[in-house]
Structure 1
Amino acid sequence: MTTADRERRRISARVRILLWLLLVMAVALASVAATTRSILLRDTGQRINNLLAQEAGEFANFEEQGFDPATGRPFTEPDRLLRVFLQRQYADLDEELVGLVGTPGAAPAQIIQQRDIPVALPLHKDAAARRRIFASPHPAGTLRRPAGEIRWAKVTVARYGGEPAAAFVVAFHPGREQARADEVFQVLLAISGVALLMTTGIAWVVAGRILKPVRLVRATAAQLTEQDLTRRIPVHGHDDVAALAETFNAMLDRLERAFAAQREFVDDAGHELRTPITIVRGHLELMGDEPAEREETIRLVTDELDRMSRIVEDLLLLAKAERPDFVTPEPVQLAELTADVYVKARTLGEQDWVLAEVADGEALLDPQRITQAMVQLAQNAVQHTAPGRPIRIGSRVRHGHVELYVADSGTGVRPEDAGVIFERFRRGAARRGARGSGAGLGLSIVKAIAEGHGGRVRLCGTEGGGATFVLTMGTLTTLEEAHP
């Protein structure tokens, strides 16, 4: 996918702001509408429950304390009790007061009804509903039926001698009240839709005006290059966008200083290291003594100076090139290479140097580059390991690959630093204050050497504390298994 295609598929910040605003508003408005409907339905339910309880309580009091107006004495017949009570009541529009007289478990034989109500199927005309309510052992309940829901309360009339069982039933049809709550819900949804449309237009204009300075920042940033870091973004006003421009300009200042420091470091490294190398080489080559030990020392020191000369070139290469392909592989005896590394590394500090294991066999490696990488790892280990503490150096063969490693017993590497310590000019927080800290190129050189051999370098923990750096090489010849 080309850059132009990605630009076309990318959603602008203006659109994202608008979509998020509409999403939040839609959720908020829908929540308000749903909550309002829920509150209305809850209030309706409470009002119906209070009405049912009131009507049932009034009938219970009338049954207990009332007198028949025809005789002036307490009621003895359930149907007479129900008729007199219903004649004195005035029900609400959706309320139905019904007296039922009959045998328990069967349909009521007699129905005393106060009046008709404007519903599709009143209770007094629904035989199945009357039977269920009359036979129910509960004093109140809800009856759901295709013709509409009924909320009811019932008071059983006490029997007198052999009179049949009777009951007073107050029923409420909540359909109209619920429909009113649904109408309010629909009105709120309609108002919310209009509000969202108005918000869309207003938010589109406002977002465009707010993001206009941001687009200016983006256009200015696009004109910046590594060679030209002098451009700055104009700052207008005192709002957040102006603060963003100031922060971006401050970042450009730091970036420009960082590039200048990098170039200065490369120039200084090339100048400062070449001169002492040349002087030391000249003095060593003019030495006149010829003991065998001194000759070996001269060979090692000369070899080390050659390696240091190449470090200067590597610094320049790492600072200026993207692909550090600078290895020259040749057949190398792993045992001899490991021993040479060990001899050179143990002069770096007063730690307890241990040659942990040595691999037998021949590998296709660049001995100077491998020595450079291993000595760099050993130097890092010295910087973070107290004198007298062990540092292990070794080589082995695993799964057809050569591994050379340096394991220290120092402070280790923090997890948040593990991902950056191999980058150029980057050091972990624990390494910035370490004695002998360099410019942050050592581990990047190690990484480049490993990758130049088709391998890699990885960081592992050391048992008992510390860090272990392992070079894994992928270019191999004939090898034998490692010996401890």
Structure 2
Amino acid sequence: MPPRLRRGGATRPVPARWRIVGWILLTTAITLVAVGFTVRSLLIADVARDANTAIDQEISEFEAFAAQGVDPTSARPFTSAERLLAVYLSRQIPASDEVLLGLVDTQVIAVDRSGGDNGPYDLIADTALLAELRTGTANSGVTPTEAGEMRWARVPVGAPDDGDAFLLVAVFTEDALAEADHTIRVLAAVALGGLLLTALFGWFVAAQILMPIRQVREVADSIQETDLLRRVPVEGRDDISQLAITFNSMLDRLAQAHETQRRFVDDAGHELRTPITVIRGHLETADDDPSSRAKTMRLVDSELDRMSRIVSDLLTLAKSERPDFVRPAEADLAELMIDVEAQASQLGDRQWQLVEIAERTVLLDAQRITQAMLQLTTNAVQHTSVGSRIRLGSRFAGTGPDKTLTFWVGDDGPGIEPDDIERIFARFDRGGGPSHTTTGAGLGLSIVSAIARGHHGSAHAESALGQGATFYIVIPTPEGPHEQ
């Protein structure tokens, strides 16, 4: 079966459905041919064995007759080979494929077949072959004739004053071989019908097997840049179903990546539009006055810093949806909190208090946790005045599988509106109401929430107006190799 088809000068692979059916037919055909040759060999061997058995049986009967028989006319043992052969052959009825002859010198004694029937072959008329059988040295053999293969054996008959005398037993196997060939032809016809039936069933079975692959192709063809929602139906638990599951997982990742890209572009366009507009407006209205130009450059520089922060935060949020956003490693919690407090103290003139420290070695991404804590402390600095108290710490809570690790930052600022507590962790949501006293892109707390989710945890806040706010990062306890 050729591996490829040529159409219009181009080489195209043979469809998988045809390949499956072709290989099924090829293996089935090879098996059937092997079975056919084996059966034919067995049938031919049976024909030869049956012929030899018939010859042996006839010789055994003759030897028994010669040893125990008596001449019916004298009631005495036979005194001549001619008489012995004549009496024995007169009592035989050979099978349709047998020839029995008595050979005494040049005389031939044959069985009297009714109606002038000479049997499967008129051996008496074939004088050359008969002479060869009479004078040859071999007592058995296989000889080809016009009537087909002849298996034969001769038995010497000895008696006083007798010359060369033999009983010749010949069996012609042509009819038996023809019957064997007929059986093979019937088997071949049945095998051909079986191949056609196999091809039919193979065609439909291949269609069922390849249906999930066809569905994968159809889904792949239908997917567009703006439509990644279609999925391949999954049925069963075989390899094809696993392929569909893998393909759907790939589509999920593509959809997630596309959504991340779309959100990044939308967010960047939304947030960068204002500073770009401000910069363009001031540059277009700038004059040659040095003081005015210096003021314009300070404003432009401030807006560029703001744009840089927005882009950096958006990139962080985009990376948060990647599987390698958080890279856990062994970290000492005490050292981590001391480093966070040292860096946070540089953010503003506040009363920094490291209230509690969880002491243990755990598995977490120390850089991301530090980034989240500094974001929370920056948020606390923005909502408090000089000299205000900002507290931070870490602690374990719960027992067993419910044990968690909590990082927290508290301040004495104006607090958060009750309606804002849930939504301030969303992108570009800076809260509202009288407690909203700062400006910004509204991405800081979104980054904190993303880092918490990256550690399979969550972030939340507790607050009351006029009494400050406390922000928490709660993650499942990532056990380290040992306790401190």
TM-score between the two structures when normalised by the length of structure 2:
0.46
TM-score between the two structures when normalised by the length of structure 1:
0.46
* Larger Rg computed on CA atoms: 2
